[in-house]
Amino acid sequence: MDARIDFFANAFAGKVLKHINSANKVVHDSTLPVATQELVKIRASQINGCGFCTDMHTKDAAAEGETQQRLNLVATWREATVFTDAERAALEVAEQGTRIADAAGGVTDEAWANAAKHYDEEQLVALISLIAVINAYNRINVINQQPAGDYQPGQFG
């Protein structure tokens, strides 16, 4: 499978990705735990069917010390006992925020209140922003049919 456009060689795509990458860097540098960030990126990517991002973020998470057991269970986090209450709250907001089209109300008040028990305002802003950013990356890669499997941890800095 080949990508429709080589986003990594296209100058205009580079300009677009530069801005998305800048937003991602701000979130990465926030106080939202990096492990939680990777779990959210993986779950949104799974929901959106983005093989490229799922490959990238599972490998990056593993390189940062995430366990294989937790990576294997992200898609079934509700039934898994390996996630903290805070991570579960973030994953719930990520799922609801990614599946906006499935529920006109977006993220429920209950899911939001649960997340707010575990994260301060900056972390909640980071979580919302992270969900928006990973969904943007997912859409670019899915529409472009970006192949998955060749990513190396840290490949993009």
- The pLDDT of residue 103 is 72
- The pLDDT of residue 65 is 96
What radius of gyration, in Å, describes the C-alpha atoms of the chain? 15
- The pLDDT of residue 40 is 98
Tell me the H-state helices in 49-150: 51-63, 68-73, 85-98, 109-118, 121-143
Provide the terminal-to-terminal Cα distance of the chain, rounded to the nearest Å: 25
Q: Per-residue confidence at 1, pLDDT binned at 50, 70, 90?
A: confident
For 57-67, write each residue's pLDDT tens digit.
999 999 999 99
Per CATH, which fold does 11-143 belong to?
AhpD-like (1.20.1290)
pLDDT higher than threshold 90 for residue 101: no
φ/ψ of residue 36, rounded to 5: -65, -40
- The pLDDT of residue 105 is 79
- The pLDDT of residue 69 is 98
Q: Per-residue confidence at 155, pLDDT binned at 50, 70, 90?
A: confident
pLDDT higher than threshold 80 for residue 157: no
The residues near 6 (Cβ < 8 Å, ≥ 6 apart) are none
For 21-70, write each residue's pLDDT tens digit.
999 999 999 999 999 999 999 999 999 999 999 999 999 999 999 999 99
- Over residues 16-20, the mean pLDDT reads 96
**Tell me, what DSSP letter sits at residue 72?**
H
- Over residues 59-88, the mean pLDDT reads 97
- The pLDDT of residue 93 is 98
